[in-house]
Chain A
Amino acid sequence: MRVEFRVCLGAALFLGIIDLIYWFTSNDDAGTACLLFSFFAYALIGSFLFLQWRRRKGIPRPEDRDDAEMSDGAGEVGFFPAASIWPAGIGIGAVFLAIGLIYGVWYLFIGGVFVIGSLIGFMVEAEAREEGPDDPGFPAVGPTGPDPETRAATPGTSR
């Protein structure tokens, strides 16, 4: 975590300094505002990472340690959905929204239906993972995932 927050806070510091120089030497509000935005963006990310680091009391994660073994990273890595139709739905909706902004309200309506419907699907899918077949009950069958039988026996796990 240390390198990460230092990179972000360093970027914020640099942007802050050139913003100050720019502010005092030029008469350009647009550029000053943009640089200020950049400064805040990196200050935000950097201080979030800094707080995470503080919360861990400086204890490094396995990926922050020079001498970590693969076994140090054992355990849950994260949630990785297998496949999902909803992102494509949102994408199609976004195209309709864009055309709607040019040609009129009806396209906006279609786009809205697509985007909102897909967003709901997206969220329901994310919720369902809490209720789906739980990890302990699910047999581990090697590196390539479950065999076809197991897959067929667990409907509704589409992600």
Chain B
Amino acid sequence: MTLIQERPSGPGLYSEEAEPLTQIVPGPRPRGVVKFITSTDHKQIGLNYMVTAFTGFLVSGIMAELMRTQLAGPDNHVLTANAYNQLVTMHGTVMLFVFGGPFAFGLANYILPLQIGAPDMAFPRFNNLSYWLYLGGFLVMMSGFLTNNGAADFGWFSYAPLSEAIHTPGPGVDMWILGIALTGFSGIFTAVNVITTVFTLRAPGMVMFRMPIFVWNSMVTLFLVLLAFPVLTAALALLWCDRHLGTSFYNPVGGGQPMLWLNLFWFFGHPEVYILALPYFGVVTEVFATFSKKPVFGYKGMIAATLSIAGLSMGVWAHHLYTTGAVLLPFFAALSLLIAVPTGIKFFNWIGTMWQGVLTLNTAMLFAIGFLIIFLCGGITGVMLAQPPLDFQLHNTYFLVAHFHYVLLGTTVFGAFASIYYWFPKYTGRLLDERLGKLSFAIMFVATNLTYFPMHDLGLRGMPRRVFTYPANAGWTFLNQLATIGAYLLGIGVLFTVINVFLSFRRGEIAGDNPWDGQTLEWATSSPPPEHNFEILPPIRSERPLWDANHPDQLTEVGH
């Protein structure tokens, strides 16, 4: 049915004269499993996304623990080489395509319409469809483990001609290809949906330059999705043709060109890194601003930085291919180094947001600060690796593994955990337990460094990535043991948060609508929000309308 909103003028949120927004939405209201399957409510779909993505995170985490167990000692045989290769491939694939991106899509689904004062996403049924394609893709991808030859085992970027049928036969690879294609379609649909929502469903007065940074970052992320995923899907279709229809796009034997796969894949692959990172930049910006009780420092600079990171990320794909000798080194090195500039602006703005603020160091804030530190380490090694002379030395060593785990763990995992602790009261109306949360943070922060820092040194000592075992006389044993202990600790840290969520879901302290004295519109509605979100909206006169409504004596300066 058509939704009509009477938007009364006059007094804002807490005035007694304010009338509710009247909404007419007929139709059945399913409950339970039927609600999970059929709901077109953006909040339900957002939660579906986040729960599924977190399941993927745990599954993929178990794979990582298995790999670290195998690497705990020299000449170890916990896993066979083949099983190790499958785990390497599927760990990467699931973390990227099932956890990192889709968890952010779930956040965008749940939080973004609330933050811009919209009643729902622009295309609710389309939204539901993208969830089903995503879940289908996850299941298809994972069912590779059930086949005779096992899942795909060529590493998550599946370089041709290794991925051709003659080198890696078996249906597991095809399941990998089609699973990714399905999640890719889901991503494209989500992108269309979110971008349309931001462009057309904002509340009156919510001009583009008053949207919270999380909304900006999610939108720009989905701009990138719109460019990256079609290219990947096309590349996968060509790979499938190579495997089954006898073409040779990538197969040099038939006159094909392996470089074509490399270019197409990384044209997707590098923006993908920013697709994973940018939404979580938005999350921590919100967390910093709320818990410093200040507006975001350099709001427009932040947006400019987001846009330029996204723009530059489209032109740096071949810095993964320096050592092929078939790419234009100066072009890619220059653009890769340039990305450090807007990222640096973001760092200064985050610190500026906290500067002289009234800080509340609760778990969400701690995770956000953890994000800042860990991502900074990853960023610095990134700048190092962007320089071809160094990259030639370190390519495909554990140094690289350390670098991208610092980047991706810092952004996706710490960002996602910050978002869980920050927005859990909005999803459920209950607070997460702070003691368990802080314990979880402390363990995870120490464990992350314990796991990945030794890998830098392992890389400098020449340990290549993706080896399933190593000889005892290589001098790599001690550092690997440290990393393995770290990995187990990291698992324990994550477990504490999982337990926390289960306990607090039913027994947590009642949060109320606005437990953090929030600044943005999602805290202006009840927890959890009613269907179609808002009964009353405060007037929107700055980028933190709720703060202005709650603190009329400290209005946000407009136009800073």
Q: Which residues does A use to contact B, with CB under 8 Å?
A: 3-4, 7, 10-11, 14-15, 18, 21-22, 25-26, 28, 30-31, 34-35, 37-38, 41, 49, 62-88, 90-92, 94-95, 98-99, 101-103, 122, 129, 132-133, 135, 138, 140, 142-146, 150-151, 154, 157-159
Q: Is the CB–CB distance between A73 and B203 below 8 Å?
A: yes
A-B contact pairs, 25 of them (CB 8 A): A3-B208, A22-B315, A26-B331, A28-B263, A28-B326, A28-B327, A34-B264, A63-B204, A63-B205, A70-B9, A70-B205, A71-B9, A78-B122, A87-B125, A88-B37, A88-B128, A91-B132, A91-B136, A102-B171, A129-B1, A138-B26, A145-B26, A145-B29, A151-B26, A151-B29
In the complex the two chains form, what is the Cα distance from A118 to B200 in whole Å? 28
- Which residues 514-559 of B sit at the A interface, judged by CB distance below 8 A? 530-532, 535, 537, 539-541
Is B179 an interface residue, CB under 8 A from the partner?
A: yes
B20 to chain A, nearest CB (A): 5
Residue ID in chain A nearest B140 by CB atoms: A98
Flag B200-243 by CB within 8 Å of A: 1 or 0 each: 01111111110000000000000100110011000000001000
Chain A residues with CB under 8 A of B263: 28, 30-31, 34
Complex Cα distance A49/B208, Å? 14
B121-158 contacts to A (CB < 8 Å): 122, 124-126, 128-129, 131-133, 135-136, 139-140
Q: Is B318 an interface residue (CB 8 A)?
A: yes
- B261 (CB) vs chain A CBs: closest residue: A30
- Confirm or deny: B21 has a beta carbon within 8 angstroms of a beta carbon on chain A: yes
Given the complex, which residues of B lie within 8 Å of A3, measured CB to CB?
A: 207-209
The reply to whether A122 and B38 form a contact with Cβ atoms under 8 Å apart is no
Give per-residue flags for B163-206: 1 if the beta carbon is below 8 A from chain A beta carbons, else 0: 00000000100110011011001000000000000010111111
B317 within 8 A of A: yes
Task: Please tell me if the beta carbons of A157 and B26 are within 8 angstroms of each other in the complex.
Answer: yes
Is B449 close to A, CB under 8 A?
no
B560 shortest CB reach to chain A, Å: 15
> Could you tell me the distance in whole angstroms from the C-beta of B327 to the nearest C-beta in chain A?
7
Contact assessment for B328 and A83 in the assembled complex, using a CB-CB cutoff below 8 Å? no
Would you call B119 and A77 a contact (CB within 8 A)? yes
A90 to B126, CA, bound (A): 11
B147 nearest CB neighbor, chain A only:
A102
Are B267 and A145 touching (Cβ within 8 A)?
Answer: no
- State A68–B7 Cα separation when bound (angstroms): 11
The CB with the most chain A CB atoms within 10 A, among B34, B132, B231, B260, is that of: B132
Q: Are A144 and B327 within 8 A (Cβ)? A: no
Contacts of B119 in A (CB 8 A): 77-78, 80
B307 proximal to A (CB < 8 A): yes
Q: Would you call B27 an interface residue if the criterion is a C-beta within 8 Å of the partner chain's C-beta atoms?
A: yes
Q: Judging by beta carbons under 8 Å apart, are A70 and B30 in contact?
A: no
Chain A interface, DSSP helix/strand/loop, else mixed: helix
**B202 contacts which of A35, A63, A80 (Cβ < 8 Å)?**
A63
- Taken together as a complex, chains A and B put the C-alpha atoms of A21 and B312 apart, in Å, by 14
In the bound complex, CA of A62 to CA of B132 (Å) = 35
Docked CA distance A90–B226 (Å): 21
Q: Apart from A26-B331, A83-B34, A87-B128, what 10 extra A-B contacts exist at CB < 8 Å? A: A10-B307, A28-B326, A66-B205, A66-B207, A80-B25, A82-B25, A135-B1, A143-B530, A151-B26, A157-B27
Say which residue of A84, A95, A158 sits within 8 Å of B128 (CB atoms): A84
A85 contacts B38, C-beta separation under 8 Å: yes
A82 touching B135, Cβ below 8 Å: no
How near does chain A come to B526, taking the closest CB pair, in angstroms? 10
Q: Which of B124, B140, B201 contacts A81 (CB 8 A)?
A: B124
Whether the Cβ atoms of A143 and B20 lie closer than 8 Å is yes
Given A70-B7, A94-B182 in contact, is the A34-B267 Cβ separation under 8 Å?
yes
A154 to B544, CA, bound (A): 41
With contacts A91-B129, A158-B28 known, is A70 near B203, CB below 8 A? yes
Q: How far is the CB of B119 from chain A (nearest CB, A)?
A: 6
Cβ contacts under 8 Å, B34 to chain A: 83
Inter-chain contacts of A49 with B (CB < 8 A): 199
Q: A99 to B171, alpha carbons, bound, how many Å?
A: 10
B39 proximal to A (CB < 8 A): yes
> With A92-B136, A101-B178 known to touch, is A25 a contact of B531 (CB < 8 Å)?
no
Q: Nearest Cβ distance between residue B150 and chain A, in whole angstroms?
A: 14
**B178 pairs with A98, CB closer than 8 A:** yes
Chain A residue with Cβ nearest B559: A66
**Pairwise interchain contact A135-B2, C-beta atoms closer than 8 A:** yes
Quick check: A143 and B23 within 8 Å, CB to CB?
yes
Q: Which A residues lie within 8 Å of B37 (CB)? A: 85, 88
Query: Which chain A positions have C-beta within 8 A of B326?
Result: 28
A residues within 8 A CB of B28? 82-83, 151, 157-158
A68 to chain B, nearest CB (A): 4
Q: How distant is B352 from chain A, measured CB to nearest CB, in Å?
A: 24
Contact of B311 among A11, A87, A88, A138 (CB under 8 A): A11
B460 to chain A, nearest CB (A): 31
B40 adjacent to chain A (CB < 8 Å): yes
Q: Within 8 Å CB of A76, what residues of B?
A: 2-4
In the complex, A62→B205 CA distance in Å?
Answer: 6
Chain B residues with CB under 8 Å of A151's CB are 26-29
Q: Do B203 and A83 touch (CB < 8 A)?
A: no
A69 to B9, CA, bound (A): 6
| Any A CB within 8 A of the CB of B55 | no
The answer to whether B311 and A30 touch across the interface, beta carbons within 8 angstroms, is no
Considering the chains assembled together, what is the distance between the CA atoms of A21 and B332 in angstroms?
Answer: 12
Q: 3 closest pairs, A vs B, by CB?
A: A91-B132, A82-B27, A71-B9
The answer to whether A95 and B182 have CB atoms under 8 Å apart is: yes
Please indicate the chain A residues that have their CB under 8 angstroms from the CB of B541 in the complex. Answer: 66
- Is B22 interfacial (CB-CB < 8 Å)? yes
- Which of chain A's residues has its CB closest to B271's CB? A38
